[in-house]
């Protein structure tokens, strides 16, 4: 279990992010077509940007920033994972013109629990904490960051440097 804060108030996650060097757990997430997607469906290096909801200012900002990074780098996939329904994710991407990232919903599966980011208490209980993982071509963790304050942005430079 990890402790994070939401505007200074403590809350807990269900576990810890996968360790650097470890194999990332497989997942089932839902794409815009309501199809189940697994980790193996995404080859090459990838960044997983895990956010509580795209309907919040910080999540929207980080998605836009990662979209800019994806547009500037060939071969790097950036997966935005949130509890939002795929329909809402699609509306966000259309409105914000963020077509260079792939949004995935935690609608089905145990992603939040398996990755240790499920918030267990406080006003956002049941959503995911803000976190970033960088995975290599073999789905080994190169970089991990659990953002200590949910309203804070992740360290984009560290994630992008780890992705190469």
**CATH number, domain with residue 146:** 3.40.30.10
Q: pTM of the full predicted structure?
A: 0.96
Structural domain harbouring 84: 3-13+29-163
Report yes or no: 143 and 42 within 8 Å, Cβ to Cβ.
Answer: no
pLDDT digits (tens, 9 = 90+) for 107-149: 998 999 999 999 999 999 999 999 999 999 999 999 999 999 9
pLDDT band, very low/low/confident/very high, at 52 (cuts 50, 70, 90): very high
Q: Which helix (H) or strand (E) holds 8?
A: none
| Residue 74 predicted with pLDDT over 90 | no
Active site residues: 59
| Residue 161 predicted with pLDDT over 90 | yes
Q: Is residue 21 part of a domain?
A: no
Query: What total number of domains does the chain contain?
Result: 1
Cβ neighbours around 110 below 10 Å, total: 12
- Give helix 86-96 / helix 57-72 axis angle, nearest 10°: 60
């Amino acid at each position: 279990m990890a402790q994070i804060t939401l505007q200074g108030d403590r809350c807990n996650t269900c576990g810890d992010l996968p360790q650097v060097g470890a194999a990332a757990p497989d997942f089932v997430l839902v794409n815009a077509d309501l199809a189940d997607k697994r980790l193996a469906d995404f080859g090459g290096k990838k960044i997983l940007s895990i956010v509580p909801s795209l309907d919040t200012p910080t999540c929207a900002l980080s998605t836009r920033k990662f979209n800019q990074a994806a547009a500037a780098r060939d071969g790097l996939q950036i997966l935005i994972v949130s509890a939002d329904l795929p329909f809402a994710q699609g509306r966000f991407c259309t409105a914000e013109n963020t077509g260079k990232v792939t949004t995935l919903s935690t609608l089905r599966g145990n992603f939040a629990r398996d990755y240790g980011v499920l918030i267990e208490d406080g006003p956002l209980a049941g959503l995911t904490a803000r976190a970033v993982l960088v995975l290599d071509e073999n789905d080994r963790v190169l970089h991990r960051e659990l953002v200590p304050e949910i309203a804070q942005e992740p360290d984009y430079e560290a994630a992008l440097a780890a992705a190469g």
